[in-house]
Structure 1
Amino acid sequence: MDHFQGITAQIISNGQVLDFYDDPDAPEIPESRARHHYVEAVAGSTFQVKVNLTPQFNSYRMKAEDAVKISVVPDGNIGGGGRAVKYTKKLLQESFSRVYRCSHTFTGPKHFCKEIGQWMRSDYSFGNLVLKETPDPGFSVKQAEDLGKIQITIQRVKMEKRQVAYVPSTIPIETINEVPEKALKGRSIETTVRLANARPTSASVHSHISKSISGEAGKPVVFNIYYRSRRALQMIGCIPRSPSPESQSPDDDATAPEHVLQEVRDLRARLALLERGLNVKSESSSAATGVKREREEEGNKGSRQRRRTTVKIEHVDLTDD
C-alpha cells in the first residue's frame, strides 16, 4: 500500500522548486510511512514549504467533519517555528471538484510583538550555522538532534466541536543559530533555519481541538527533508563532485576574445626576450670562464717548464800544477 498516494511536498526557495536528492546509502523500505530527501540550501535565501493533496489521496474512514492535519516543523522547533493547518473532508472534496487539488504553502510563523502591539509574520530562511567550542549555559545536545531537518507531517484527525482561544506569544520565536561542534555528532551541517522579513499580519483568534483517528487510518505519514550546502551534498554522494578545471589547449585560442589573445601574444613575446637574455648571459659566462681557465693552464704550463730546466755548473780548476 502506498501511504503517500495523492500527497506531494515541495521546498520552494526564491521562487524555484528545489530538487529532491535521495541518500545513496539509505535502504528503500517498501510501504514505509516516512520518506527522506535532501535539498540544497543556500545561506541567505528564503524558502516556503508547499504540500499538495490530490483526489488520489485516500480518505478512508474519514467522516465529513474529520480533517487532514498538515504540520511543518523546522529543526525540531515545535513551539517556535512550527506551523499547522487543517482541512476537513468536506473542504477537500470541494477543492478537488474545483481545482483538482488542495494546496497549502507555509511561509513562516506568527508571533505577537508586545513592543508595538502588533501581530507579525516572518519568512523562513536559510542562515549560516555558527560553530562554537563550548556550549552556552543551559544548552542541551538534544536541541541539535533535529538540526538540519524540516519535518512535514500529514495525518487524518477527528475534529472536536470545542474551540480554544489562540493565546498570543509575546516572546520572539527562537531559532538555533549557533551550537558546539560536538553536538552535530559528525553531521555535515553548515546552515540553519532562521526567520527574516518580519511584517504586520492579522491575528489568529481560535483553533479547533483535534485528535488522530483510531487505527491504521490515523497513523501519520512523514517527509523528512534534510537541507545541506552543496559541498555537504557532494560529500554525502547525493550529487557528483564538480570536475577540476582543465588547462587551456592551443585550440582554445580560436574561441578566445581578441583582447585575451593579444595579452597572450604579449606575454609570449616577453617570455621569449627573457629566454634569449638568459641564453646570452649564460654563453658569455661560459666563454669568460673558458678564457680564464685557458690562461691559468698556460701560466701553469710555463711554471712547470721553468721548474723542469736543469742548470749545468762548470767547474774550473784554478790551482797551479
Structure 2
Amino acid sequence: MPFNGFIDARVLVDGQPLQEYMDPDGIDNVRYVQATTGQRFTVEIRFLPGFKLQWAPYLHASLTFDDEEINWFRNLPTKGMAHRKGVLTKPESLQLGCTAAKDDTGTWKRTFFVFGALGLGMCLAIQVDAINTAGCWLTAVAETEDCNPISLEQVNKLGRLKLEVYRAQEVPRELPFITEGRLPDARETVPEKLLKGRYIKNNVRYDASDEVGCAPAIRYHDYLPVNGPAGKIHEFEFRYRNREILQYLGCIPRSPSPEPNHALALERTEEMLKAQKEERRRQNLEILRLRERLERAERGSSRESSTTIIGDDTIKREDGTPIKTEQPQQATKRARDEDDDELQELMPPPKRPAPTIELEDGDGQSGTAPRGTKRARDEDDDDLQEMAPPPKKMPVLVDLTDDD
C-alpha cells in the first residue's frame, strides 16, 4: 500500500504479500485483502529510500485488531540507518506477526496472529445507552448467550487491521510497565442482527506454538510522536474479508461461467427431438384410435336407425338426413293414408305361376295354349273353346297408421 511520505505497508502470508484491492468508497489509505481461515499473517512496514528521518531517534509502528483496546508495537532505532542528510538511501523495514504470551501452565510461548472464522450468536437484548441530538450515532450494548457484550462502535471496527506509523521519541514513564503475558480474548461470536449489512465473516485469533519464548523486558519509557510536523501519524487500514464477500463488494471479479459443452448440448438436443417425435407419434396413434371408434359407432347407429320413404328414390333417416337409393321396378307398392301424407310401404303378393295345359289334336300333336288364355275341351266334341282370363285382383291397401 504505497503511502505519502515513502512509507509502505502490506500483509504477508507465508512470506508473500497478499493481493490488495481498492476500497469501493475510494478511501486512499484503505485496502481490502482476502482472508482465509487458519492462515497465519504478518504486517510489514517498509520505509523506502527518500523517507525523511527528521533526526527522530525511533520509528514507531503499532497494530490494533478489530475492536481490541490493546495494540502491538515495535520501535525501530534510526541509529545506523543508511541516510544522507537525514534522508534514507536504503530501505528499512519492521514486522508485526507474533508476540510472547503465557500458556495455562505459565510458560512463555511464541504466539502468532491467525485469521479465524467469526460465528453468529443469538442476541437476547439490545439496550441503547446514548444518542446525540443530531441522531447520527448511538451506543448500544447487546447481551448474548455465547458472546461478550458488544457495542455498535465495536461492531463497526470488526474485520480491520489498523496500523499507525510515526517518528517517535522516548518519554519516561512514571511507573515501569511489566507485561503480564495474558492475551485478549478473541471475539468468537457476534449477534447476527448487529452484523446485518456489514459483510464480515472473519476475525483475528492467537495461535500459540510449542516454541518457548522470552518474557518481554520491563518498559520504562513510552514512545510518543516527535514534536512538530515531523510527528505526523501515518495511518493504514487493511479490511480483511473472505473471497465471497470481496466478489460481492466488487473487489474481485466474479468467477467466469464455465465454457459451454457443445457435445453435451447437442446430445441433449437430440434427446429432446426424439422425445418430441415419440410424443407426436403417440398423439397420432391416439387420434387414429379415436377416429376408428367414432366410425364404428356411426356404422352401428346407421344399422339400428329406421328409414322412411319420402319420394321415388329417397329414404329419410330418423335424424332427418335424406339418403338416396335406387328402387327396383315393381319391387314395392306404396299407399297413401287418407288422413295424412305419410307413405306406408306394402309388399306385393307373390306371383302365381301360369298353369300349363297339355292339348292333343286329333292327329296326335300336342301343344300349349297361348299365355293369357285358357282352353277347355267340350265334353261332347274335341273342339277347343277359348276362354277369357279372369279379371286381375286389385291390390289390397292396408292402413297401418294408429287410430290416434
> TM class by shorter-chain length?
0.7 to 0.9
CA distance in 2, matches of 1:305, 1:160: 129
Are the counterparts in 1 of residues 33 and 241 from structure 2 also a CA contact under 8 Å?
yes
- Cα 1:268–1:27 change in 2 (3 A) is closer
**Hey, what does 1:42 align to over in structure 2?**
36
**Hey, what does 1:26 align to over in structure 2?**
26
CA distance in 2, matches of 1:168, 1:288: 95
- Which residue identity does 1:116 align to in structure 2? T
Is it true that 1:13 corresponds to 2:4 in the alignment? no
Q: Deviations over 1:215-273 (max 9, x none)?
A: 211121010111112222233222333333453235x99xxxxxxxxxx97x8887787
Give the match's secondary structure for 1:183.
Answer: helix
**Aligned residue runs from structure 1 range 200-219, under 5 A:** 200-207=212-219, 208-219=221-232
**Hey, what does 2:92 align to over in structure 1?**
102
**Hey, what does 2:335 align to over in structure 1?**
none
Are the counterparts in 2 of residues 23 and 237 from structure 1 also a CA contact under 8 Å?
no
**Hey, what does 1:182 align to over in structure 2?**
193
Larger radius of gyration: 2
CA distance in 1, matches of 2:213, 2:88: 28
Give the match's secondary structure for 1:139.
Answer: coil
**Aligned residue runs from structure 1 range 1-321, under 5 A:** 4-26=4-26, 35-60=29-54, 62-63=55-56, 66-79=57-70, 82-93=71-82, 100-113=90-103, 115-134=104-123, 135-136=142-143, 139-141=149-151, 142-160=153-171, 164-169=176-181, 171-184=182-195, 186-199=197-210, 200-207=212-219, 208-250=221-263, 278=279, 280-304=281-305, 306=307, 308=317, 311-312=344-345, 314-315=397-398
CA distance in 2, matches of 1:219, 1:166: 28
- Cα 1:305–1:25 change in 2 (3 A) is farther
Deviates more, 1:146-155 or 1:177-186: 177-186
Query: More helix per residue: 1 or 2?
Result: 1
**Hey, what does 1:32 align to over in structure 2?**
none
CA distance in 2, matches of 1:109, 1:155: 21
- Cα 1:15–1:299 change in 2 (3 A) is farther
CA distance in 2, matches of 1:206, 1:91: 24
1:150 shift after superposition: 0.3
Q: TM-score, normalised by structure 2?
A: 0.62
Are the counterparts in 2 of residues 164 and 209 from structure 1 also a CA contact under 8 Å?
no
User: RMSD of the TM alignment (CA)?
Assistant: 3.4
1:185 shift after superposition: 6.0
1:280 shift after superposition: 4.8
Give the match's secondary structure for 2:75.
Answer: strand
- Which residue identity does 1:242 align to in structure 2? S
Q: Comparing both chains, which one has the higher relative contact order based on Cα–Cα distances under 8 Å and sequence gaps of 6 or more?
A: 1
Are the counterparts in 2 of residues 73 and 83 from structure 1 also a CA contact under 8 Å?
yes
**Hey, what does 1:256 align to over in structure 2?**
none
CA distance in 2, matches of 1:231, 1:71: 30
1:202 shift after superposition: 2.0
What is the aligned length? 289
1:195 shift after superposition: 2.0
Unaligned runs of at least 5 residues, structure 2: 124-141, 309-316, 319-342, 347-396, 400-404
CA distance in 1, matches of 2:299, 2:4: 101
Q: TM-score, normalised by structure 1?
A: 0.76
Deviates more, 1:217-226 or 1:38-47: 38-47
1:5 shift after superposition: 2.5
